[in-house]
Amino acid sequence: MTDILLTHGYFLAEDPAERAVMKPYPPLGLLYISAHLKACGFTVEILDTTFMDMGQALAALAAKRPPLVGIYANLMTRGNAVRLAGACKAAGATVIFGGPEPANYAAEYLAHGGDVVVSGEGELTLAELIPHLARHGLAELDRIHGIAYRGEDGGVRRTPARKQIADLDAQPFPDRGAIDLERYLRTWKTHHGVRSVSLIVARGCPYTCNWCSHSVFGHSHRRRSPQNVADEIEAIRDTYAPDQLWFADDVFTINQKWLEQFAAEMKRRGLRYPFETITREDRLNARVADLLAELGCYRIWIGAESGSQRILDAMQRRTNAARMREMIALVQSRGIRAGTFIMLGYDGETWADIDETARHLRLSAPDDVLTTISYPIKGTPYHDTVADRIAGGGAWHESSDRALTVVGRKSRRFYRHAQRWLAAESRLGRLAANPDAGLLHRARAHLSSARSRVAMYATRHEVEHG
Ligand code: B12
Ligand code: SF4
């Protein structure tokens, strides 16, 4: 019999943003947990919901009737995760929640089907919790570190934090064999002509961007050895024959010495895959750009967030807008596409700051730009700062932190126009850098910029209300 069934509530079919790009990846956290628990001798099953819909997921759970279920949840999958939990509970299962969101809303998750909420890494905690639950049920949970549960009085009890895994190299590779990874690869191949596999080389980010969630790994940073990562890439090559990789790390180039060693190890083994990943401007320089190119990097996302130094400083991002522009040019000079993330609507952002961001995009002409409208994630310093002005959302179990807004800031309508304006401005930057760009393209981009600008102006007095 299965000791634990692991699942999540992500349904690709319900995700319009992801359906537009069709670049799905599996939930690595669950694959890591499964590998660890199996190595400890537990019997584990993963119900991967990515290619299902809610009805199919509920039917699969009803057929399996697992006595113990572990559910991954993040702020977007909350609603689905608690629905799955409710169904499992109704069928008599014990439900454990984990992932980046549940520990920040322990009371709510416990009120919506959860018996236990695990905070941080799940591997060591579950390896202790599973036999504990089998022996003692929900009694004496205070013995297990790293969890929250309901006390006898109904209040939420939190046990001391769980120590993090010290040696990541000693951990087994993610249990990709537990799911139908080929389905992900086929989806990639159909839509993009390539098979792409994700992996991570480290855990945790020591930086302090105040809107970013650190609920799983805190501010720790632990790296795997270059040899261990290369071993995993060889295993991925032998099993899945991918065409490319995605290093799903927070800041892939965080340590230059590590990158040097990793590049040397990959070269020694004759391994080279096109890949994309994320970094920060302060973790790039000419040598790092050369190493990335040597390793096969075809696109690097440089988290920019804003072109206004004032806003970057307010975010405690510890990056420099002018240097960001230089780094975009640097990676492009090595034949690597430069992607950048922009966040609009950070608390205190003014019209002048948005202008600065547009100027930044036009000057630097990144190849790809992803813009989000800021929202306060529970558990972050940003959430605490704006807590008394947070509005939006609705019923917790049907909503998400992404629906939260800050009273007094400009309306979503305004920011949607601003998003379009920034997209047009970065297009103009790219066209200016391209001597072959036709007049018609330029005229279209100017028109789109002007239209969005007028729409921004027309909505400039619209603000969010409580
Ligand atoms: C890769 C990634 C993505 C990929 C996901 C694709 C995929 N399936 O891999 C993409 C780009 C699509 C993505 C999108 C988004 N993401 Co994202 N993403 C990440 C990232 C960078 C890595 C995830 C990862 O693989 N981590 C490595 C594994 C080992 O860690 P883990 O998943 O947390 O798992 C560990 C623990 O959480 C725990 N655990 C996990 N599951 C379970 C289950 C049980 C039962 C238990 C007990 C424990 C447990 O144990 C695991 C092993 O130690 C994280 C940041 C990070 N470094 O983790 C952000 C992160 C998860 N994303 C985040 C956000 C906000 C988003 C978006 C909402 C962004 C947006 N504006 O659209 C969307 C939501 C998409 C969705 N619908 O789910 C936030 C979540 C915050 C929160 N409180 O929920 C994070 C934490 C980033 C951040 N620092 O703010 N993301
Ligand atoms: S946004 Fe990126 S660099 Fe900043 S704290 Fe989060 S993961 Fe680290």
44 CA distance to ligand 2 middle (Å): 32
Tokens of 233: 């890439």
Q: Is the shortest distance between the CB of 283 and ligand 2 below 6 Å?
A: no
Which ligand 1 atom lies nearest to the CA of residue 33?
A: 52
- 210 alpha carbon, closest ligand: 2
**pLDDT class for 397, splitting at 50, 70, 90?**
very high
pLDDT score at 41? 98
Q: Using DSSP, how many helices (H) and how many strands (E) does the chain show?
A: 16, 17
C-alpha span between 188 and 298 (Å, rounded): 17
Give the domains, in start order, of the chain with CATH numbers: 4-158 (3.40.50.280), 194-372 (3.80.30.20)
Which ligand 1 atom lies nearest to the CA of residue 278?
A: 21
C-alpha span between 195 and 146 (Å, rounded): 37
Which whole-number Å values give the CA distances from 104 to 80, 100, 107, 280, 359, in the listed order? 17, 8, 9, 26, 37
What are the tens digits of pLDDT across the range 230-285? 999 999 999 999 999 999 999 999 999 999 999 999 999 999 999 999 999 999 99
The CA-based diameter of the chain, rounded to the nearest angstrom, is 74
The percent of residues in the chain predicted with pLDDT above 90, rounded, is 97
Tokens of 273: 């895959």
Which residue has the CA at smallest separation from atom 3 of ligand 2? 207
**Among 263, 257, 280, residue whose Cα is nearest residue 205:** 280
43 CA distance to ligand 1 middle (Å): 24
pLDDT score at 149? 98
* pTM, entire model: 0.97
Q: Where are the alpha helices (H) located in 365-438, listed in sequence order?
A: 381-386, 412-432
C-alpha span between 383 and 210 (Å, rounded): 8
Using the CB atoms, write b or e for 61-71: b if 16+ within 10 Å: beebebbbbbb
**pLDDT class for 408, splitting at 50, 70, 90?**
very high
76 CA distance to ligand 1 middle (Å): 10
C-alpha span between 324 and 319 (Å, rounded): 8
Which helix (DSSP H) or strand (DSSP E) does residue 278 occupy? strand 275-279
Q: Identify any residues that bridge with 149 across adjacent strands, giving them in sequence order.
A: 116, 157
What are the tens digits of pLDDT across the range 44-88? 999 999 999 999 999 999 999 999 999 999 999 999 999 999 999
Q: Is the shortest distance between the CB of 212 and ligand 2 below 6 Å?
A: yes
Which residue has the CA at smallest separation from atom 4 of ligand 2? 209
Q: Is the shortest distance between the CB of 303 and ligand 2 below 6 Å?
A: yes
232 CA distance to ligand 2 middle (Å): 25
Which residue has the CA at smallest separation from atom 6 of ligand 2? 212
